Amino acid sequence: MSRRAAALLVLPAIAVLAVFVAAMALTGLTSFAADAGRWSVKHYVRLVSDSHYLGYLWRSFRIAAYCTPITLLLGYPVALVMATASSGVRLGLTLLLVVQFFTSYVIRAYALMLVLGNNGVVNRALLALGVVDQPLTLMYNEFGVAVSLVLLPMPFMVFPIYSVLKNVEPNLEAAATSLGADRLRVFWHVTFPLTLPGVVAGVVLVFLFDLTAYIMPGLLGGGYFDMVANVIYDQAMEVRDQSFAAAISMVLLVATLAVLYLTTRWGARYAEPPRE
């Protein structure tokens, strides 16, 4: 392939990257904008000195921190089944995840509302069984938001793990079994370490998805349980304080990059084969 052809192929990616960098640079400049065309860090000072806004940032990190491992615990078995099951089962699970992945967020949120609502599937079943006397409050609170942030990013967890699992050499597990290891030890000492690159990729994707979630907290939280992305939108579009919204955005961006860097470094460290 000639250099000219290669340049033409990467040109769209460069254009997208340039737009992203320009947008981030503009957001950064806006975060330092003050009155009368001056520059100031007052928006950052306001953010770090106000426990109200810091609370939303902490809430987003806290929810992402416990929803991500739950998604891993639920998604890893799915990926394991996909890697070891028959082609029909694998195709069915893949189609299910792909359909869920490409379905509109609004449709998925509405589906969860039909399940978790006061007149939803869960409450109807509990009332019919006599477990509860009145509907449980499963929406417009942290529980409803957490459920959505566990279920919706499931494909981000399953597919990276599956892509690694399917390439794990079965003879390695058979060799460990022949040496006397039970299935649990084979999984923990052979299979799981080999799939760490996929696990790290899935954890990073799901954590960042949950940390920056906007639609699900807005719909499942109903304004009673917002996260930091909802606060950024409110400041930018309703309060019209775009500089403060930009400051929160930049803090969230830096925190996101820090999490991404630390996680990938940790994953690369533990995924490397031991040196002689």
pLDDT tens-digit map of 3-34: 777 777 788 888 999 999 999 999 999 999 87
Domain with 133 in it: 50-271
Asked, for residue 23, whether it belongs to a domain, the answer is no
Kindly report the CATH number assigned to the domain that includes residue 107. Answer: 1.10.3720.10
151, 216 contact by CB (below 8 A): no
- Whether the per-residue pLDDT at 276 is higher than 50: the answer is no
Domain tally for the chain?
A: 1
Task: Note the pLDDT tens digit of each residue in 99-132.
Answer: 888 888 888 888 999 999 888 899 999 999 988 8
Mean pLDDT computed over 183-203: 85
Asked, for residue 25, whether it belongs to a domain, the answer is no
- Whether the per-residue pLDDT at 191 is higher than 90: the answer is no
Mean pLDDT computed over 168-180: 74
Asked, for residue 176, whether it belongs to a domain, the answer is yes
Asked, for residue 58, whether it belongs to a domain, the answer is yes
Asked, for residue 194, whether it belongs to a domain, the answer is yes
User: Structure pTM?
Assistant: 0.87
Asked, for residue 97, whether it belongs to a domain, the answer is yes
Task: Note the pLDDT tens digit of each residue in 26-72.
Answer: 999 999 987 767 888 999 999 999 999 999 999 999 999 999 999 99
Task: Name beta bridge partners: 33.
Answer: 39
Q: At 159, is the pLDDT very low, low, confident or very high (cuts 50, 70, 90)?
A: very high
Model pLDDT, residue 259? 84
Task: Note the pLDDT tens digit of each residue in 216-267.
Answer: 999 999 889 999 999 999 999 989 899 999 999 999 999 888 888 888 777 6
Asked, for residue 2, whether it belongs to a domain, the answer is no
Asked, for residue 112, whether it belongs to a domain, the answer is yes
- Whether the per-residue pLDDT at 150 is higher than 70: the answer is yes
